[in-house]
Amino acid sequence: MIGITSYGAYIPRLRLNRMAIFQAMGWFAPAIIMVAQGERSMCNHDEDTLTMAVAAVRDCLAGRDKKTVDGAYLCSTTLPFADRQNAGILKTALNLQDAIITADITSSLRAGTTGLLTALEVVQGKSRKNILVAAADKRETRPAYFYEMWFGDGAAALLVGNKDVIAEFKGAYSVSYDFVDHYRGKGASYDYMWEERWLREEGYSKFIPEAVGGLFKKIGITMDDVQKVVFPCLFQAEHRAIAKKLGAAPEKVIDTMHEICGETGAAHPLLMFVAALEQAKPGDGILLAGFGQGCDALYFKVTDAIAKLPARSGVKGSLENKKTIDNYMKFLKFRNLIQPEMGIRGEAPTQTAMTALWRKRKMLTGLVGGKCRDCGTPQYPKMDICVNPKCGHVDTQEDYEFADVPARIKTFTGDLLAVSVDPPSIYGMVQFEGGGRFMADFTDCELADCKVGFPVKMAFRRRFTDDERGFSGYFWKAVPQPGAAALPEVRFDGRVAIVTGAGAGLGRTYALELAKRGVKVVVNDLGGARDGAGKGSRTPADRVVKEIRASGGEAIANYDNVATPEGGEKIVQAAIRAFGGVDILINNAGILRDKSFLKMEPENWDAVLTVHLNGSYNVTRPAFAVMKEKGFGRIVMTTSASGLYGNFGQTNYSSAKMGLVGFMNTLKLEGAKYNIKINTIAPVAASRLTEDVMPPDMFQRMQPDFIAGIVLYLCSENCSETGAIFNAAAGFYSRAAILTGPGTILGGGEKIPTPEEIRDQWAKIDSIEGAREIGDANTAIMSFLTPPAPKAEPAGESGGGAPDVKGIFAKMPEAFDAAAAAGKDVVFQFSISGPGGGDWFVAVKDATCKVGAGKAEKPTTTIKMADGDFLQLIAGKLDGMQAYTSGKLKVEGDIMKSQLIAKLFKFKS
């Protein structure tokens, strides 16, 4: 079977309100009021036939393998080049294979249907398998003309082939006549039109019925075999009359889109055909006729495969994506029909070096960059050396196409001074998902459509025209998609997860939900009793695996015990054997053995700690090794409100659960540089662990599904959270954290305080007002050792007046406490940025202090700050710890020695 295997369409976003033409030119041509209804599509200033054709083909190739395309025809009467194959530019822009045939089919409005018919016959003749047919037109007319109202700009694309055919080609019939209702002479910009009545009566209403009649006879069908009738006709009344003459009931006739788009020349029969395919059901017969110096008539039968076609924009999507304008002058300027002064800046040389265009054709026309074979980093442009500083390998770049990679706005500007046909000129940095970025012009947008982080799609557009040499230069621009500004969906492409204790309760839900999103899951469960007693059973894990497979997911069962190191190792090995690795680990397996403290015998204590705490260690350790190797990992630990807040009768369980929080706090630091994120969930949900502790109605509400969403998010690659604890219960979600109060220093940090002094300062010690989270133990200890800075202004004026940095260093020797410096040997280097900054060093040795401007040779500790912040710090208005954690104070070298500064120097108030 041969026929259409895919389709696509492109109608420019801009629509001109036809009334705007009348409003501007009605004084001159009052008769155009008769046709001034509705709107016509119009190209943006950077669009032409070729850019529209590329857009339609990209739509058509959605979900198709480009490598199978072995021919491309471009059909149009308005090709940008008369002698430079336009289909060749299309092929380069789309990065189609080099070994294909390309051709321009032109000089008639029938070019679209003729191109399609030719492709069908070539595939039928078996010399080629998949031919792309793109048709596009952007026709010009003189201003204030009926045809200016009637015409529109647009493109359609069809893929012709012999596999996965959605509309089978059944036959065609053509008639050819040198019928000159209009013509465009050599070098002319506009068509010369003959009388409309003659075109209607001698042209449309004779050739279309003749070709259709010939086709019906040739393949032995009647109008009863046709459910969709497609033929363009400029005149609405004539269109209806011809349909009637053909015997086609009005509901079979596809709308000409006159009111909403206008007639798009050689593209129009194919554009209407795409609209017909969008509405068609399997079994429908479609009649397609293209008029122009004769007529081509083709018949197709729609197949079941049409239902499987991936989503695309098509005619429907193109029509929905619109911006109507009422500014006729804009229409004229965008089409270069008026030439306002562009200023001297507009005179920049535009000559293209054909040698460079040839050498860099993939990069410039095809938006092809590079991707490092060794580290996988994409970059644009492609270079000899990988941009990844950790890689830097030479000659490892493979071609990498950026045109279809999702991207977002990183920076942008609206420039009113740059030369632009449509100011402000909007451009900025575009960041591609997975890596790679470049500065791009933005198009099809207003400044208000741009926001950092918004998604953009790349579009092939005209970058400049070299009018002197008749050359159009093309490149790729970014089109902001404010409507699609939502973040991408939570993704797990190709990931492998281990969920321990996944045979029931929460673990089962996690496994099912992960599998639904394409994760390959190792469903681990020992299948023991609630208190961990018994030999275990394979049934719980097997049941969950069966459920996953029944709904099309991938999973294997594993029955190993997390409580032993061998068990943990075996679980991870199972993932490696079945799926090649592990990316996600949810430590969820758990048991309960509740007893009040005095009844908590060692075996109950041990059993619970062994499953929860040791169990998480046993599985995480081998999994962490795989993740580290891969440079990716997501781990979720399971804690509990019992551990975080306490619960009567659960000393064993609370200890184990809080132990897991400590485990996470350290592992988050060890995993950080390998992109291993680790978080902890504190769920509340109905399961066998809670069935006898929750009242029945509460038990009913607490579905484990409420917990799955947050756990899956924590496992996803989009999630950058690490080292955090989250409560989750029946739709409630919150973060729990360990906070540290501001505290106080007693006895200047030197004199040991008595219990009485502690008691007297209890309010300050006990207060958590202004408490904060601390990222790691070192930071915590530093914050404890940094005494609150003196409140008074320091004496730091270099010459009287306000204190300055230089003055502070001048006063350092005075502020030096020689007694505190006994036995200390340290050199501090200060690097103070800002207008009042500079470099100073302070060397402390043998209880003496030497201060000097410039850089020390081997500083022990280097302190970097902005001048303002430094003055604030010395004045006691900025807390040292706060400055450090907020990044205002950077310490290099021996961090611990920086704490000496406060002890060694005391600025007097």
Task: Show which residues are catalytic.
Answer: 653
Beta bridge partners of 612: none
Judged by DSSP in three states, 587 sits in coil
Binders of ligand NAD among residues 543 to 582 (CB under 6 A) are 561-563
User: Which residue from 232, 262, 269, 527 is in contact with ligand NAD, where contact means CB under 6 A?
Assistant: 527
By the rule CB under 6 A, 94 interacts with ligand NAD: no
- Mask: binding to ligand NAD, 416-455, rule CB under 6 A, as x and -? ----------------------------------------
540: enclosing H helix or E strand = helix 539-550
Burial of 859-868, coded b for 16+ CB within 10 Å and e otherwise, reads: bbbbbbbebb
Q: Pick from 84, 688, 735, 759 the residue near ligand NAD by CB under 6 A.
A: 688
Contact yes or no for 586/497 (Cβ under 8 A): yes
Site for ligand NAD in 327-386 (CB under 6 A): none
Nearer to ligand NAD, 445 or 636 (CB): 636
Kindly report the number of other CB atoms within 10 A of residue 489's CB atom: 9
Q: Which stretch binds ligand NAD (CB under 6 A): 145-153, 209-217, 327-335, 521-529?
A: 521-529
H-type alpha helices, 564-614:
565-579, 602-609
Contacts of 438 (CB under 8 A, 6+ apart): 380, 381, 429, 430
Written as one letter, the residue type at 417 is L
For ligand NAD, give the closer residue by CB, 367 or 497.
497
The smaller minimum CB distance to ligand NAD, of residues 19 and 689, is found at 689
Taking contact as CB under 6 A, which single stretch among the options 67-75, 138-146, 588-596, 898-906 is the one that binds ligand NAD?
588-596
Q: Which of 52, 56, 298, 591 binds ligand NAD (CB under 6 A)?
A: 591
Pick the closer one to ligand NAD by CB: 116 or 592.
Answer: 592
Q: How far is the CB of 162 from ligand NAD (least distance, A)?
A: 53
Q: What is the 3-state secondary structure (H, E, C) of 451-494?
A: CCCCEEEEEEEEEEEECCCCEEEEEEEEEECHHHCCCCCCCCCC
The first and second tokens of residue 142, run together, are: 């003189």
Binder among 108, 205, 687, 860 for ligand NAD (CB under 6 A): 687
Give the count of residues interacting with ligand NAD (CB under 6 A). Answer: 33
Separation CA 876–CA 882 (nearest Å): 12
Task: Identify which range of 314-322, 443-451, 681-689, 845-853 contacts ligand NAD by CB under 6 A.
Answer: 681-689
Residue number of the CB closest to ligand NAD reads: 505
Nearer to ligand NAD, 306 or 589 (CB): 589
CA distance 326 to 331: 9
Min CB(590)–ligand NAD separation in Å: 3
Q: 265 vs 532, which CB is nearer to ligand NAD?
A: 532
Q: Which stretch binds ligand NAD (CB under 6 A): 49-57, 297-305, 682-690, 795-803?
A: 682-690
Query: Among 65, 73, 68, 155, which residue's Cα sits nearest to residue 117?
Result: 73
Q: Which stretch binds ligand NAD (CB under 6 A): 101-109, 167-175, 257-265, 684-692?
A: 684-692
Does residue 585 touch ligand NAD according to CB under 6 A? no
Please answer whether residues 262 and 151 qualify as being in contact, where contact means their C-beta atoms are separated by less than 8 angstroms.
yes
Provide, rounded to whole angstroms, the least separation between the CB of residue 559 and ligand NAD. Answer: 8
In whole angstroms, the minimum distance from the beta carbon of 683 to ligand NAD comes to 5
Cβ–Cβ under 8 Å, residues 241 and 195: no
Contact flags string 488-517 toward ligand NAD, x per CB under 6 A = ------------xx-xxxxx----------
Q: Which member of 611, 627, 871, 891 binds ligand NAD (CB under 6 A)? A: 611
- Least gap, CB of 558 to ligand NAD (angstroms): 9
Report the run of H or E that residue 777 belongs to, with start and end: helix 777-785
Q: How many Å apart are CA 277 and CA 303, to the nearest integer?
A: 11
| Candidate segments 584-592, 742-750, 786-794, 862-870, binder of ligand NAD by CB under 6 A | 584-592
Q: Is 118 in the site for ligand NAD (CB under 6 A)?
A: no
Q: How far is the CB of 322 from ligand NAD (least distance, A)?
A: 51
All residues at 6 or more sequence positions from 23 whose CB lies less than 8 Å from its CB, including other chains: 326, 328
Q: Which of 496, 685, 728, 774 binds ligand NAD (CB under 6 A)?
A: 685
Query: Residue 113 interacts with ligand NAD (CB under 6 A)?
Result: no
Q: How far is the CB of 723 from ligand NAD (least distance, A)?
A: 19
Burial class of residue 114 (count of CB atoms within 10 Å of its CB; 0-12, 13-18, 19+): buried
Place of tokens 């807040």: 645
In 3D space, the residue among 498, 490, 506 whose CA is nearest the CA of residue 522 turns out to be 498
Dihedral in degrees, nearest 10, Cα atoms 779, 784, 788, 794: -60
Q: Please, what is the end-to-end C-alpha distance for the chain in angstroms? A: 94
Cβ–Cβ < 8 Å for 342, 419: yes
Residues within window 622-651 making contact with ligand NAD, judged by CB under 6 A: 638, 640
Q: Of 572 and 832, which has the nearer Cβ to ligand NAD?
A: 572
Nearby residues of 832 by Cβ (< 8 Å), 6 or more positions away:
805, 838, 839, 840, 864, 865, 866, 867, 870
Candidate residues 285, 480, 590, 836; the one interacting with ligand NAD per rule CB under 6 A: 590
Whose Cβ is closer to ligand NAD: residue 480's or residue 527's? 527
User: Which of 532, 622, 633, 796 forms a contact with ligand NAD (CB under 6 A)?
Assistant: 532
Q: Rounded distance, CA 488 to CA 741, Å?
A: 38
Report the DSSP pairing between strands 725-729 and 732-736. Answer: antiparallel
- Using CB under 6 A as the binding rule, whether residue 689 contacts ligand NAD is answered as yes
Q: Considering beta carbons, is residue 158 or 563 the nearer one to ligand NAD?
A: 563
User: Contact residues for ligand NAD (CB under 6 A)?
Assistant: 500-501, 503-507, 524-528, 530, 532, 540, 561-563, 588-591, 611, 615, 638, 640, 683-685, 687-690
